[in-house]
């Protein structure tokens, strides 16, 4: 199991489009991926739970991955968040 902590800088936080891209990226991996914010926890592969975390601009999230591809999953999710949701895999593009 590995985890990282990131600041969400996008203006809308993890709502609508950014949350959708985050979930779609997480679903590319077999690992279990969980996002935590201020004690609340959400399955990173569930759009409703991710939106209900109510992550706003400037807030920190912890992303935890556990499984065979956890390292790659965290790397891609980190790249996605740090790029303000612009650096995404071709499979995730709308």
Question: Domain 2-82 sits in which CATH superfamily?
Answer: HPr-like (3.30.1340.10)
Identify whether 15 is a catalytic site residue: yes
What are the residues facing 66 on neighbouring strands?
A: 32
Q: Residue 32: count other Cβ atoms within 10 Å of its Cβ.
A: 16
Q: Residue 35: count other Cβ atoms within 10 Å of its Cβ.
A: 25
- Domain-by-domain residue ranges, the chain? 2-82
What are the residues facing 37 on neighbouring strands?
A: 40
Per-residue DSSP letters for 25-87? HHTTSSSEEEEEETTEEEETT-HHHHHHT-PPTT-EEEEEEESTTHHHHHHHHHHHHHTTS--
pLDDT of residue 92: 47
- Out of 7-16, 71-80, 84-93, the most confident range is 71-80
- pLDDT confidence band for 74 (50 / 70 / 90): very high
Residue in 15, 27, 36, 49 annotated catalytic: 15
């Amino acid at each position: 199991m590995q985890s990282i902590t990131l600041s969400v800088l996008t203006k809308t936080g993890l709502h609508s489009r950014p949350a959708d891209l985050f979930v779609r990226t997480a679903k590319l991996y077999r690992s279990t991926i969980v996002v935590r914010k201020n004690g609340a926890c959400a399955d990173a592969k569930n759009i409703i739970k991710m939106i209900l975390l109510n992550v706003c601009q400037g807030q920190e999230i912890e992303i935890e991955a556990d499984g065979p591809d956890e390292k790659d999953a965290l790397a891609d999710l980190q790249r996605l968040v740090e790029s303000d949701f612009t650096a995404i895999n071709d499979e995730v593009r709308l």
